[in-house]
Amino acid sequence: MLSSEPVRLGRRRRLSPCPNPLFLRWLTELRDQARERGLKTQHVYQKAICSLKKYPLPLRNGREAKILQNFGDGICKLLDDRLQKHYKEHGADAPIHSQSRRGTPRRRHSCNMASSAIPSETSRKSTGKKGCRAPKRLMGDGGIEKGGRKRREYVPQKRSGGYAVLLALYRHCQIPGSKGYLSKLELQREAQTLCDASFTAPSLGSKYTAWSSVSTLLQRDLLLKTHNPARYSLTEVGMALAQRLESSEKEEEEQQTSGDQEDASLGPAATIDLTEDEQEEKDACTTHRPEPLVTVPQKQSVEVGMSISGKPQAAGLDMRAADILLPGSYDIVLCVDFIETTGGCAARKQELVRELQRNGVTFDIRKLNVGDFLWVAKEKVTPVPGHLRPPPARELVLDYVIERKRIDDLCGSIIDGRFREQKFRLKRCGLRRPVYLVEECGSAGTHLSLPESTLQQAVVNTQVVDGFFVKRVQDVRESAVYLTIMTRTRL
């Protein structure tokens, strides 16, 4: 009697740590697709992946996965739909578990009665045809990769993080005498011009940057990471994909250039004199035109077109028709973010308001999209006879914006990533003189999650690297004094 034990030992492969590799692969593909599109559902898929990896038992369908944490009706329905397609393509008895061996001993026994040794490559091909497909399933680890359909090729979207990384490495390799790899900082610097998102600061409402797509490139064997500090280089597959992306990029540039040349060959367009009609429309609209933003004739004036939230106004405003606020026709008002007066330690935040009132500072509590404090030039208006309310006053944001940080708050913002995001938003708000107000917290600073040297280094980097003006104070009272002096010097 022939023993099947050597055959089993010869064909046994290392099992996957997850007993549901098919579900795990589908969820990973959904997560990668959502990450490439910048959707927030990527976090939902990531939580479901972590929960599935911890579950030690095989699942027969998506409905059974509902007992797991972070699995809702939507994800379970997606898994069931994928599972139905899988059964249609590979048969109703296609295995889906890495630990599933139902029915395989009988088929393996019937197929291996003719030979007691490990079959060669030719015998595997011959036995993998009609009537006996068990050896093929054993070799393909459940028939998911080798017996199933071919995985769709990964191509990153244009101007995405993965697209920029592949093109940057490919172009570097084309330079004569190049070393063939780039460090992280070099790769980020080279790829930033090819990407719309930032490689260092996360997008608003997300904790991921364009650099997060590098993990996808590593998983798909398009990128190779070696040495310490890390060196990044392209694999053969990544080089081929990057070459295709580069060729498509050149084709688009050539098409755009040829289109411009065709437009130039047509000659200048015929001109029609519409001066009279345009002048009539301009005269008719002059009396009904809304008041544009104003400028302040002093050193603290900012560019016309900046709103109170730090965002640029509509480009349709006529910049040449902007009025001017003469000295004495406006008041300087300190705008305080409402978060600085509510929430957290109410007593400490109300102390700042009391100090400003005691110093006679004119301030207004508002919701600010950027920063904690800023100043506006508010026009002085006089009541109109016959009207209950005076006309709305025009406002113009000055060039100073202050982000206030206590040491304990600075520690927390560094840990959760808000520190870099806030600095990035302050740089992009349009105000040219951002200030970082760092406030000590006394004895509370001795119980922090980060060492003092790390916090000091972060403050120094804010001043030296980011170009912010850093003002350090001891307590809330000194913060109020600094805001008072800044308000009075703006008058």
Starting at the edge strand that comes first in sequence, how are the strands of the sheet with 433-439 ordered?
363-366, 330-337, 373-379, 395-406, 433-439, 469-473
* Annotated active-site residue in 32, 36, 355, 372: 372
Q: Which of 32, 337, 379, 421 is catalytic?
A: 337
| 372 catalytically annotated | yes
CA distances 251 to 60, 112, 200, 248, 258, Å, are: 48, 56, 30, 5, 10
Is 32 a catalytic site residue?
Answer: no
Catalytic residue among 29, 190, 340, 440: 340
Q: Which residues are catalytic?
A: 337, 340, 372
